[in-house]
Homo-oligomer: A and B are copies of this chain.
Amino acid sequence: MEGEDKEMSKVFVRSAGLIPVGEYWEKSIGELMYEAASKAIESAGDVKIDRIIVGNMFSGYGTHQEHLGALLASVLGMAGTEALKVEAACASGGMAVHEGYLSVKSGEYKNVLVVGVEKMKDIDTGHLTKALAMAESAEFTQAVGATFISLNALLMGAYMQRYNVPEDQLDYFPVIAHKNGATSPHAQFRRAVSLDDVKRSPPVAPPIRLLSSAPSGDGAAAVILSSEKGDVEMLASETATNELMLFQRDNPLEFKATKAAFAKAIKRAEITKDKIDFIEIHDAFPVVSALSLEAMGFSEEGKAGRDAESGKYNLDGELPIATFGGLKARGHPVGATGVYQVVEAFYQLTEKGGKNQVQGAKVGATQNVGGVDTTSVVHILRRVS
């Protein structure tokens, strides 16, 4: 009886779908969601969706469209079905998956469709900069003219100084991402870049350069989470927050939200972190990659760049990251990113990785961040033997 109860509360990824990240000038946000969702629904076989959750950050500001949950229900011909949108800045996608996980775990829903979407290309650069800054305080951070990338640039500078790390070492992260992106069919940038390319690329917010910053793009990704046994089980979905404003934190170089979410996820999944075969991290900027890997204990403090340089995080390394290109090369359509990560973990764990397959992957993780580690969502998934 107890065993049966436990079985009932398990959550599986039943199917997944996505569209390549790119520029969809001719398509609406509803069409992007529709395409990704349709792929997940088609590959799920005979399934009745009983809940729709959309992860998105700024569709209202960007494309004058809210009510994305009901919109998606309608375009899918599923009007009637429960639907909502979830927002947690750049972690909106991960948070939507978290709500989906919780929905199934509650026993109230059997099949939940989770879609992450963002349409960024319609917005001019000035407004896009402003849209991204909405992840931090309008009152205190935006008001003094700080942009989101400028906060990350300050953080990168502080990191380099504290740990005496050269820019070159951190720039191995975009090199890894682009190397994986080169063979990733759904990546926005399917080409490798050298360390020298990164170094010579123009500064955007020094020390962050064009080739060390995640690009803007349009995208949508979808998963169907289910109580019915599937090929991949979601062992844990955990989240936590950090102080909203970077300048109010005791130690800005400590990613407390990621640290807490990861610790909870490991505990929930009843595994040790060495069991994780790959992790899709939130590699929006090199310093975010470094601080994330250090917060989760995969690298020692100040040593993530060195580990990246050593090959540890390569596709054939000890712990592959950004296996389909990550935020840097696959692309970072903000509210969709957390769902792309889970789709990619699903691909790896069902051996659909193609040239990007992590050999023998049994357990994978994802880490999706909103703001500068203000919100963090961590998922752990396992292949059902």
CB <8 Å contact, B89 and A86? no
Q: A57 to B65: give the CA distance in the assembly, Å.
A: 11
Q: A363 to B85: give the CA distance in the assembly, Å.
A: 30
A58-B60, A106-B105, A134-B65 in contact; A70/B28 too (CB < 8 A)? no
Chain B residues, CB < 8 A from A103:
102
Query: In residues 63-93 of chain A, which contact B (Cβ within 8 Å)?
Result: 63-71, 73-75, 79-89
A81-B241, A89-B70, A260-B80 in contact; A134/B370 too (CB < 8 A)? no
A99's closest neighbor in chain B, by CB? B99
Instruction: Let me know if A240 is at the binding interface, CB within 8 A.
Output: yes
CB <8 Å contact, B70 and A241? yes
CB <8 Å contact, A131 and B60? yes
The winner among A28, A61, A84 for most chain B CB atoms within 10 A is: A84
CB <8 Å contact, A89 and B67? yes
Q: Mark A123-141, 1 if CB is under 8 A from B, else 0.
A: 0000000110111111100
Q: A100 to B66: give the CA distance in the assembly, Å.
A: 21
A133's closest neighbor in chain B, by CB? B64
Chain B residues, CB < 8 A from A133:
64
Instruction: Let me know if A366 is at the binding interface, CB within 8 A.
Output: no
CB <8 Å contact, A67 and B370? yes
Q: A112 to B370: give the CA distance in the assembly, Å.
A: 21
Query: In residues 290-331 of chain A, which contact B (Cβ within 8 Å)?
Result: none
Q: A131 to B248: give the CA distance in the assembly, Å.
A: 32
Q: Mark A180-201, 1 if CB is under 8 A from B, else 0.
A: 0000000000000000000000
Q: Decide if the interface of chain A is mainly helix, strand, loop or mixed.
A: mixed
Instruction: Let me know if A371 is at the binding interface, CB within 8 A.
Output: yes
A80-B241, A106-B102, A256-B80 in contact; A88/B88 too (CB < 8 A)? no
A267 CB to nearest chain B CB (Å): 13
Q: A138 to B61: give the CA distance in the assembly, Å.
A: 12
Instruction: Let me know if A30 is at the binding interface, CB within 8 A.
Output: yes
Cβ 8 A contact of A74, one of B63, B64, B240, B243? B243
Chain B residues, CB < 8 A from A29:
138
Chain B residues, CB < 8 A from A370:
67, 70
CB <8 Å contact, A69 and B138? no
Cβ 8 A contact of A130, one of B64, B137, B375? B64
Instruction: Let me know if A108 is at the binding interface, CB within 8 A.
Output: yes
Query: In residues 104-122 of chain A, which contact B (Cβ within 8 Å)?
Result: 105-108
Instruction: Let me know if A210 is at the binding interface, CB within 8 A.
Output: no
Q: A260 to B138: give the CA distance in the assembly, Å.
A: 39
Instruction: Let me know if A15 is at the binding interface, CB within 8 A.
Output: no
Instruction: Let me know if A269 is at the binding interface, CB within 8 A.
Output: no
Q: A233 to B216: give the CA distance in the assembly, Å.
A: 46
Q: A69 to B370: give the CA distance in the assembly, Å.
A: 11
Contacts A65-B138, A67-B370, A80-B260 known; 20 new A-B pairs at CB < 8 A = A28-B138, A57-B60, A57-B66, A67-B134, A67-B244, A67-B375, A69-B241, A69-B375, A70-B241, A74-B241, A74-B243, A74-B248, A82-B241, A83-B88, A84-B86, A84-B87, A84-B95, A85-B87, A86-B87, A106-B107
Listed by A's residue number, 15 A-B pairs whose Cβ atoms lie within 8 Å are: A28-B139, A65-B134, A67-B88, A67-B135, A69-B88, A69-B241, A70-B374, A80-B242, A80-B260, A84-B95, A84-B98, A84-B99, A85-B87, A85-B88, A102-B103
In the A-B complex, the 3 residue pairs with the smallest Cβ-Cβ separation, listed nearest first, are: A106-B106, A74-B244, A66-B134
